[in-house]
Amino acid sequence: MNKDRRYNAIKSMIEDGSISSFKEIFEVIPKTLVSKDMGMNYQTFTRKVAEPDHINFRELLFMSNLFDVNPENLFRRIVSDLSAPASKKKK
């Protein structure tokens, strides 16, 4: 599979710290592309991005493989979104 070049951009941005939250990833790469590459329904994926506590471990591993990053780095960004103050979260 030829991966979209934006996956490399995500990897670099996660590693250099310019992406600090899970949701920021999807300002660089479209959710449609990631959901398609994961074989997941777009609406389901969008819901999981909005509520990252619904992402399961297998999905986390799959995404970390797509982005070519350590799963722990991706997990930290998810935790960052979950622990953000309620005023910063979209309703």
| pLDDT tens per residue across span 18-77 | 999 999 999 999 999 999 999 999 999 999 999 999 999 999 999 999 999 999 999 999
pTM for the complete prediction?
A: 0.84
Residue 21 forms part of a structural domain: yes
Residue 88 forms part of a structural domain: no
**Beta carbons within 10 angstroms of residue 80's beta carbon:** 16
Residue 58 forms part of a structural domain: yes
Range of the domain at 52: 5-81
Give the Å distances, CA to CA, from 84 to 53, 78, 79, 89: 13, 10, 8, 7
Q: Tokens 């990833």 appear where?
A: 25
Residue 16 forms part of a structural domain: yes
Residue 65 forms part of a structural domain: yes
